[in-house]
Structure 1
Amino acid sequence: MAFTEFLVPDDPMRLAWARFRSTLAGPPRVLHKTSPTQTPNPQSTLWRLLATNNRELGRSFLLYHSFEAARAHIQQVQARPDSLKIEHMPALNNGLRGWIIMAADAPVMTCSRWYSSLSTGAEAASRALEALRTAELADSPDRSDASGRFRRRAPVGADARP
């Protein structure tokens, strides 16, 4: 499972995620932990569940206030695999189908695209659910910097020098 940290709220990848998610469940809110006197941190994190060939199987329903919060939430979800279930839904106005994975009746993961039939979407949802239960979590996030450029974390064991 890959995590992506966004340093600015108008990052193109974050906006694309929000547009797709809003078609499933309305506009997202960032889960910030700030007091009334603190300025909210514009940084946010989401996660993507990837197959071994890097094809996206699903993505986070929530936008988290930090990498640590996102990773901790997924560890909690994985600790209760029997609480996970699939909910199928139609797209608006075009006959396509999508799905959301629920954990204890709270949404945690969405499909990453629309499907042309219920059976195709159901198969993709089942595969994503099984993958979510056993996914290996990245130890650090990928980052999208203020310019909107996407930077991947250094590969494990890679030399950090330029």
Structure 2
Amino acid sequence: MAFNDSGAGAAAARVRFTEFAAADDPMLVAWARFRGLLAGPAREPSRTHTAAPPVHPESVLWRLLATNNRELGRSYVLYRRYSTARAHVEQLQADSDALSIELIHGPHNGSRGWVIVADDVPVVTCSRWYSSISAGALAAAGALHAFRTAVVWETPDRSDSSGRYRRRPPAVPYAST
């Protein structure tokens, strides 16, 4: 289905959540490493800070995905539970006019990135480095536009203790009354 702004039947970006069972899950470790490059002084053009945030088991993060599953951005915050992550995304979407983009320098000469901030606090990050300021700015604007109307996924994906990624959570029995 092609994207259009007409409303009914329009394909939309979506926010997908991932729960991690282990702090050493490869996807979680990669997120922490990349996110660490965006933290603190990295937001200042002349310096880069490489400290990764602490990770812990039973962590949750979210990713903003385009209709073709391309990652447009990801959460800056690591949450302790799915319900907290989902509530934060919904709050950000409800007040999306307060979100703004900050372009940042990456860890290597010529690398650029971005964060989306709310009240000067990062909430969304790029998912890769860009080779120019204009490419990064265009990607950030697209991510912010997509985030505003993204469908928030109802259930989290789970990463099991082996680090394997499962798309669907285990079935929950239906309780009849």
Give the TM-score of the pair, scaled to structure 1.
0.86
Aligned to 1:137: 152
Matched AA of 1:47: W
Aligned to 2:94: 79
> Which among 111, 129, 141 is matched to residue 114 of structure 1?
129
Matched AA of 1:60: S
Aligned to 2:68: 53
1:81-100 to 2 correspondence within 5 Å?
81-100=96-115
Deviations 1:90-123 (A, max 9, x none): 1123211000000122110000000000000000
Matched AA of 1:3: F
Would you identify which runs of 4 or more consecutive aligned residues in structure 1 move more than 6 Å?
none
Give aligned pairs, total: 146
Q: Shift of residue 44 of structure 1?
A: 0.4
Distance (whole Å) between structure 2 residues aligned to residue 71 and residue 29 of structure 1: 21
Distance (whole Å) between structure 1 residues aligned to residue 54 and residue 162 of structure 2: 23
Q: Shift of residue 27 of structure 1?
A: 2.1
Aligned to 1:17: 31
Aligned to 1:27: 52
**For 2:154, what is the secondary structure of its paired residue?**
coil
Distance (whole Å) between structure 1 residues aligned to residue 53 and residue 95 of structure 2: 24
Matched AA of 1:19: R
**For 1:63, what is the secondary structure of its paired residue?**
coil
Moved more, 116-125 or 145-154: 145-154
Q: Shift of residue 28 of structure 1?
A: 2.0
**For 1:64, what is the secondary structure of its paired residue?**
coil
Deviations 1:113-148 (A, max 9, x none): 000000000000000001111110100000000011
Alpha-carbon RMSD: 1.6
Q: Shift of residue 4 of structure 1?
A: 0.3
For structure 2, the residue ranges without an aligned partner over 5 or more in a row are 1-14, 40-50
Give the TM-score of the pair, scaled to structure 2.
0.79
**For 2:152, what is the secondary structure of its paired residue?**
coil
Distance (whole Å) between structure 1 residues aligned to residue 119 and residue 38 of structure 2: 19
**Is the 1:28–1:62 Cα contact (8 Å) retained in structure 2?**
no
Q: Shift of residue 21 of structure 1?
A: 0.7
Distance (whole Å) between structure 1 residues aligned to residue 138 and residue 33 of structure 2: 24
**For 1:140, what is the secondary structure of its paired residue?**
coil
For structure 1, the residue ranges without an aligned partner over 5 or more in a row are 31-40
Distance (whole Å) between structure 2 residues aligned to residue 103 and residue 68 of structure 1: 20
